[in-house]
């Protein structure tokens, strides 16, 4: 697939990117190489290949849940710039 200079300028405009003529030529060459590579991949026969989500088998990688003591309220609020009635006080973000 041949990418034209106009294609690059159009995509840059749609993306709100400023691009000069030297960059257009560089991007055009790189995008052309990339699309040629993708075309080569398209020619590979994958009819006998079963679709997979991951290339390697994965298991649950999360750690087991363990009950641990948490911070008490005083420790959690100890460095809070503003606090009120045992809670963090923050600026209002919603209008009434």
Residue 78 falls inside a structural domain? no
Residue by residue, pLDDT tens for the chain (96 residues) are 688 999 999 999 999 999 998 899 999 999 999 999 999 998 899 899 888 877 777 777 788 889 999 999 999 999 999 999 999 999 888 876
- Token duo for residue 76: 């959690």
Domain of 9 in residue numbering reads as 5-43
Structural domain includes residue 57:
no
| Per-residue pLDDT, 64 | 86
Q: Please indicate, yes or no, if residue 10 is contained in any of the structural domains.
A: yes
Q: Which residues, 6+ apart, have CB-to-CB distance to 90 below 8 Å?
A: 82
Cα distance between residue 8 and residue 66, in whole Å: 54
Distance CA(3)–CA(29), nearest Å, equals 8
Phi and psi angles of residue 87, each rounded to the nearest 5 degrees, phi first: -130, 160
Task: Work out how many domains the chain is built from and give that number.
Answer: 1
């Amino acid at each position: 697939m041949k990418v034209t200079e106009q294609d690059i300028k159009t995509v840059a405009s749609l993306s709100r990117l400023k691009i000069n003529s030297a960059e257009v030529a560089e991007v055009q060459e790189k995008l052309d190489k990339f699309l040629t590579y993708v075309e080569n991949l398209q020619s590979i026969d994958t009819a006998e290949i079963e679709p997979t989500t991951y290339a390697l088998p994965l298991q649950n990688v999360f750690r087991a849940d363990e009950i641990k003591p948490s911070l008490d309220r005083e420790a959690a609020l100890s460095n809070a710039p503003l606090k009120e009635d045992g809670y963090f006080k923050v600026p209002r973000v919603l209008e009434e």
